[in-house]
């Protein structure tokens, strides 16, 4: 029997302009593609040229269709006015998806739809699935629930689309609780943690990895991996380093992997506080190089102000490296306080300063979990969800389909 055909809808997927975008979604979809025949629609934002005040998107070179990991990926354009008319994002995206699917169905007729990101992706995918007369699963990932639902109209559209989906998945218990508070029906909501590429992320010899990366062998090394945005707590991180005694800073170093809107500001902060001897901004790196940097560090840092279920912490745990992270979102589900890391309150530079000192004094990593969940495990769990949703949807045909 041939494999079921599925359509993936998400703005979080790699493309030729951003090869590292949505790495965790790509890994999950790649594992799922071994069980189903999948095609991906990863829309590309298009900003009207008349809106000079809006940021530019460097997506002009992204082709309409490309192949990644053997999966066909379609990149239809959709209109976006950054920071404005957020309630229009869903309808505009649906219009873009409808045109793409009309072309796609000439050779590929989906039997289910999965959307990664609640709004606008889940909103548009839910309506698309009803038009296709197939079930839809929406995965909520973090900022789509924790951050963007602060906008009242966007919140209403997010909750409405999740309640109309056949299945809803949250990547952490904290995210599921927040969704319940917003009014999302718990009857069809489940929690599914992200996986880890256990072939790449595993215990490694620290000195071997430092030599591989041409790093000095001695200093205690902290590592940050993430986008250089306010929500990741990078300002708090540099403030915590600035507050440390000069003699402490001489014994440690901080390596920051990532790019983002605060890069220039952070460079100025490092120069102003004379942190250049202990803090280095490395810029973005390919995801396949990240395991070596985690393997080379003594401790990974993630002082975020808000999170869903950050994969980098699970990857650090798979590499048996302790972490210092904020007690927000799904982080307490990943970090075992006092055993695999230290948890602090967000946006608290003094608490972070003390945690950094405590970690550099020595930390006994003691993980009660024998192994981390792989993407293969996630794919198997998702398969059960897909089959359940398809079975229930087929049974509902007896009484007629429900419509949005």
Return the domain boundaries, the chain. 5-195+375-396, 206-360
Instruction: Give every CB contact of residue 169 below 8 A, 6+ residues apart in sequence.
Output: 137, 138, 139, 140, 189, 190, 191, 192, 385
pLDDT of residue 49: 57
- Grade residue 7 by pLDDT with cuts at 50, 70 and 90: very high
pLDDT of residue 84: 64
Contact status, residue 3 vs residue 34, Cβ threshold 8 Å: no
CB atoms closer than 10 angstroms to residue 15: 18
User: Is the pLDDT score of 52 beyond 50?
Assistant: no
Reported as a single tens digit per residue, the pLDDT across 156-197 is 999 999 999 999 999 999 999 999 999 999 899 999 999 999
| Distance between CA atoms of residues 349 and 48, nearest Å | 40
Q: In this structure, what are the phi and psi dihedrals at residue 387, rounded to the nearest 5 degrees?
A: -65, -40
Closest CA to 272 of 232, 231, 235: 235
Kindly calculate the radius of gyration of the chain based on its CA atoms and give it in whole angstroms: 22
| Distance between CA atoms of residues 142 and 140, nearest Å | 6
pLDDT of residue 371: 76
Percent of the chain at pLDDT > 90 equals 75
Reported as a single tens digit per residue, the pLDDT across 287-316 is 999 999 999 999 999 999 988 889 999 999
The CATH number given to 206-360 is: 3.40.50.2000
pLDDT of residue 21: 87
Domains 5-195+375-396 and 206-360 in one fold:
yes
Mean residue pLDDT of the chain comes to 91
Architecture in CATH of 5-195+375-396:
3-Layer(aba) Sandwich (3.40)
Query: Could you tell me the pTM of the whole model?
Result: 0.87
| DSSP 8-state assignment for residue 374 | B
């Amino acid at each position: 029997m041939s494999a079921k055909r599925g359509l993936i809808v998400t703005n979080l997927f790699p493309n030729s302009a951003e090869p590292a975008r949505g790495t965790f979604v790509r890994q999950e979809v790649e594992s799922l593609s071994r069980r189903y025949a999948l095609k991906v629609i990863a829309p590309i934002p298009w900003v009207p040229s008349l809106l000079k005040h809006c940021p530019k998107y460097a997506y002009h070179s992204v082709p309409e269709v490309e192949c990644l990991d053997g999966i066909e990926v379609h990149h239809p354009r959709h209109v976006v006015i950054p920071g404005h008319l957020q309630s229009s994002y869903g309808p505009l995206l649906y219009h873009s998806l409808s045109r793409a699917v009309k072309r796609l169905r000439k050779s590929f007729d989906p039997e289910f739809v999965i959307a990664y990101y609640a709004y606008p992706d889940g909103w548009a995918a839910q309506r698309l699935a009803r038009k296709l007369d197939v079930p839809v699963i929406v995965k909520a990932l973090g900022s789509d629930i924790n951050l963007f639902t602060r906008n009242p109209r966007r919140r209403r559209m997010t909750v409405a689309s999740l309640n109309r989906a056949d299945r809803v998945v949250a990547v952490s218990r904290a995210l599921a609780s927040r969704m319940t508070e917003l009014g999302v029906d718990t009857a069809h909501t489940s929690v599914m943690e992200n996986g880890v590429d256990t072939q790449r992320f595993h215990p490694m010899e620290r000195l071997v990895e430092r030599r591989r990366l041409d790093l000095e062998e001695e200093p205690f090394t902290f590592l940050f991996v993430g986008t250089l945005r306010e929500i990741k707590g990078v300002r708090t991180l540099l403030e915590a380093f600035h507050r440390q005694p000069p003699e402490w800073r001489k014994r440690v170093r901080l390596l920051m992997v990532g790019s983002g809107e605060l890069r220039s500001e952070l460079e100025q902060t490092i120069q102003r506080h004379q942190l250049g001897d202990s803090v280095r901004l490395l810029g973005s790196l390919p995801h396949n190089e990240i395991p070596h940097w985690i393997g080379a560090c003594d401790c990974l840092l993630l002082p975020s102000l808000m999170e869903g279920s950050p994969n980098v912490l699970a990857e650090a745990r798979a590499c048996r490296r302790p972490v210092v992270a904020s007690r927000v979102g799904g982080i307490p589900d990943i970090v075992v306080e006092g055993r695999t890391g230290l948890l602090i309150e967000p946006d608290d530079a003094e608490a972070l300063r003390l945690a950094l000192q405590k970690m550099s004094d020595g930390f006994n990593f003691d993980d009660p979990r024998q192994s981390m969940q792989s993407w293969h495990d996630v794919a198997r769990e998702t398969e059960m969800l897909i089959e359940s949703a398809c079975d229930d949807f087929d049974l509902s045909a007896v009484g007629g389909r429900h419509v949005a």
